[in-house]
Structure 1
C-alpha cells in the first residue's frame, strides 16, 4: 500500500492510496479457496473444481466484495498508522482501477479536534431550589377539583344555559329517514362543550325540562362517517332533565376519584409529584448553567461536516414547524445565494430550506449549531477519557419508562427498540450525556439558591430555543424516537370501550 498525503489543512486531511494488484489478486485467491469446498460445476464433484475454472466463473462476482474490503482495510490502516481519529465517516472516491491492475483511490477525512478540557474544579455553578409548601399543594388540589365535572338537578323552572348539563333523548333524520348512530336516550350533554356537531348545542340554549325541539345541523364535509359528511340532518330532541354545574369539594371523595383512600393520601401524592417536578426543573437549569460555563471556556475548532449537519437539522426543524421568516432578498438584491456563494436551490429548481429563512437567521442558527457541536464533542471526549459508560440495564430502564406511557402497549414499544438499533442508540445518548454532566458537577463548586416556584419555572423563550445545547441532535433524535415508539404501539392499541349512549352520540 502506498499512501500520499495531498491535503493537511485544519481538521481536514486527504490521501491518495494505491493498493497493489498483487494484494487484490491474493485476496481474491484466498476467498476462492474458502468457497472451493462448497462449489460444484457440471462434470466436477463438489470441492474438485479447478481453481482457474472457479476464478473464471466466480471471480468477477467476488471482485466487488474484495475491492470494498481492500478500501476499508487499507483506509483504516492508514489512519491508525498516523494516529488519526475521524469525526465522521471518511469519504472515499476510486480514481483508477482495471482488472489485474493497481487500485487507486482518494480518502477525505475530517478529524476530531484536539480537546483540552479545563479543570472542572474551577467551575462555579448555581443550583436553584424551590420548596413545595402547603399553599402550592392546596392550589394544585383546587385546580384538580376545578377540572372535575359534577352537576346537580336544577330546582327552579328555567331555560338551559351554557355550562348546564341537559339530559336528552334525540333522534336524527336525513331527508326524513333515521340513520345509524343518530339516536340516544338519557344522554348527558354539557352545553358549550362542543362535543356534538357544530350548531347542535347552541340550539338547546333556553330549552326547559319537558320541551321538545327540532335541531337542524349540517355534518362537516370532512366528517368521519362518509355517508353523513356534508349532509343536513334534523334531530328531534326532548329535554328530560336540567342539571347545573356543582363545585367539587376538596375532600375524601375527591381523593377517591383519583384512586386514593383519603384527602391526606391525595395531598401526599400531589406533594411528592410536585417535588419531583421541582427537582427535574432545578436539574435542567443547573445543567443549562453548566453548559453555558463550558461553552464560554472552550473554543476549539469543530469539524465542518458535523457543523453543517447540525445546522441543516436546525433549519429543517424551523422550516418544518413554520417558524422561519418568509423568504427575503439578500442585501445585494439577488435571490438564491448567501454571502458565501452557496446555492439555495435544489437540483429540481425549487427553493432549498436555507432560502426560506433570512440571512440573519442563517447566521444565528450557524452559531447555535457550532455551540451544540462543540459541547457535544467536549462531553463525548470527557466521557471517553474517563471511561463513562451507559449500562444495558440503564437503557432497559429508560425504555421501560417510555413504554409506561403507553399502557397495554409496552410489548410493542420494546419490540420497536429491539428492531431499531438507531432508535436504541438515541435512547443511550442522552443517558450518556447526563452521566457526563453529573461527573463534571461532582468536581465543580455548586451553590444552592432558594427561589419561588414561579422563579424556578420562569423561562426566557428566546433562551429556551438554545437550552438543549449539548447534543441538541441527541435530544431531537430522542424526541423522534419517542414519536416512532408511539406510532409503533398505536396501531395495536385497543379502542376504548364506550357506553351505548356515547356510541350513539353525533360527535
Structure 2
C-alpha cells in the first residue's frame, strides 16, 4: 500500500498511520494471560490470579506498551516503504476520524537532506608540509636536557641570569592597595622560560642575592585574573636564593638513561627524529584536514535537520557541564548555561557530518580494516609497550569507532585534495608546533 507523505516545511514531513484495534486488543490479551501465570498478588496463589484482576491492575500499562510498539512498527514500515531517511525522533499523536476498527495517528518528523556538493575541481586549498630538520632535533635534545637539569647555588655576588631558578618574596599593590594573588613568599620560578610575565622577569634578571627592586607591572587586558586585567601594579621583589642550572652533556650515557634501544648519541637522534616525524604527520594531517573541511562547507548546500542540531546542542551542553564538574564546580546541573551559545558550533558539526557522510557514500571512502589497524599501530608506536596499546584499542568497540572516524576523515581529506586545486606551502617546524602561552605567573 502506497504511503502518503505530506511535505510540511523544508525537511519536515507528515504521514498517517493506521493500526487495527483487533491487533492491539489481541496482543494485550496475550500479554495479560502470560502475566497472570507469573504475577504474585496478595490473596492468590502464584499462577491463580484471575485474568480480570490482572487486567485491572496491569491493563493500562500493558495497553500503553502494546500501543507504542504497534505504532512504532507501523511508522518504521511506512518510512521504509516510502524510502525516507528519518532524522531524529518523530512526534506522534492520535488523529480523529479513523475508520471503524482502526486507530489513526499522525507522525510528524524530519528527513535527512539532499546534500549538494559543487565541483571540487574549482576548490583551492592550501596544503602544508613540514620537514623535520637537524635544528628541530637539537631543540628537542635541549628540552630533554632541561628536563634532567640539576641546580647549584650561585655565588653571593653572581647576578640572576636566564636559566636560573630563583626564589623570591614579592608583593604587588594597585593604587596603594594589595590585591588577591599579588603577594608570595619563597616563590620559585625559572627565569627566561615564560613562567612569569615579562616585566617581572626583566626586574629580577641581574639582581644579586638579598637585593630588592620596585617596578611597575601592567597586566594584559586578557590576563586570567579578571580583577587585575588591564591594570598596572607596583611590585616589590626580593631575591632570596639563586640557583644556576647544570645541563647534562649529550653522551651515549645520556642516551642510555633515556631508555633508547640503541644507547648512542646517533641512536638517540634517530629516535627523536622518528618521534617528531610521527607527531608532525598527525599535526599536518589535522591542519590539512581542517582546510579541506572548511572548503567543503563553502562548496556545499543543504538544509539542516532541527532535531539533529538540537541533539548536538544537548551533547555540547552536557560536555560543558562535565568539564565544569571536573574543575570541581558544585551544582553543575543547576548552573544556567544558555543552550543557544552552542548553536553555531552544533550547526557546523551537523553540516560537516552530513557533507562528509555524503562524500563517503558516493565515493566509497569508508575505513577499511587494514587502515584502522595501521592507524592504531601508529598511535601505539610512541609507547613503551605498543602491543599492549593495540590490544587496548581493539578491546573496546567505542575506541575503534573513534579511530574509524579519524580514518574516514583522512580518506575524505586525501580524496578532496586529489580533486581540488592545491597550493603547496612548506612551513617551519616551529610554526607547526608553536602554541600560545600566557599568564605575574604567565
TM-score (norm 2): 0.60
Q: Distance in 2 between matches of 1:130 and 1:18?
A: 63
Q: Distance in 2 between matches of 1:128 and 1:17?
A: 55
Report if the CA contact (8 A) 1:129-1:448 is conserved: no
Point out which structure has higher relative CO (alpha carbons under 8 A, 6+ apart).
Answer: 2
Equivalent pairs counted in the alignment come to: 355
Query: Secondary structure in 2 aligned to 1:199?
Result: strand
Report if the CA contact (8 A) 1:79-1:85 is conserved: yes
Q: Distance in 2 between matches of 1:114 and 1:380?
A: 11
Aligned ranges 1:20-419 → 2 under 5 Å: 20-31=20-31, 59-94=59-94, 103-118=103-118, 125-151=125-151, 158=156, 192=167, 199-200=185-186, 244-260=244-260, 261-310=263-312, 353=338, 366=344, 369-385=346-362, 386=364, 388-389=366-367, 391=369, 394=372, 398=376
Query: Secondary structure in 1 aligned to 2:301?
Result: coil
Report if the CA contact (8 A) 1:11-1:112 is conserved: yes
Query: Secondary structure in 2 aligned to 1:254?
Result: helix
Q: Distance in 2 between matches of 1:66 and 1:403?
A: 53
Report if the CA contact (8 A) 2:122-2:421 is conserved: no
Quickly say closer, same or farther: Cα 1:303–1:153, change in 2 above 3 A.
closer
Quickly say closer, same or farther: Cα 1:398–1:59, change in 2 above 3 A.
farther
Determine the structure 2 residue equivalent to 1:451: 426
- Structure 2 portions without partners, runs of 5+: 170-183, 189-207, 211-240, 325-333, 437-442
TM-score (norm 1): 0.53
Q: Distance in 2 between matches of 1:319 and 1:43?
A: 51
Q: Distance in 2 between matches of 1:43 and 1:318?
A: 53
Give the Å deviation of 1:124. 5.5
Quickly say closer, same or farther: Cα 1:265–1:45, change in 2 above 3 A.
closer
Quickly say closer, same or farther: Cα 1:399–1:13, change in 2 above 3 A.
farther
Task: Return the structure number with greater strand share.
Answer: 2
Give the Å deviation of 1:286. 1.8
1:14-72 deviation digits (Å, cap 9, x = unpaired) = 334342311211322444576687689999996x9997787667544432321221121
- Structure 1 portions without partners, runs of 5+: 164-189, 208-238, 323-347, 462-507
1:328-368 deviation digits (Å, cap 9, x = unpaired) = xxxxxxxxxxxxxxxxxxxx9x965168x7xxxx8xx63x5
Report if the CA contact (8 A) 2:167-2:186 is conserved: no
1:248-301 deviation digits (Å, cap 9, x = unpaired) = 323333323312312111111111122122222221222122222211211121
1:123-164 deviation digits (Å, cap 9, x = unpaired) = 55443212112222222222322332224587x7x489879x
Quickly say closer, same or farther: Cα 1:256–1:192, change in 2 above 3 A.
farther
Query: Secondary structure in 1 aligned to 2:267?
Result: helix
Q: Distance in 2 between matches of 1:257 and 1:56?
A: 78
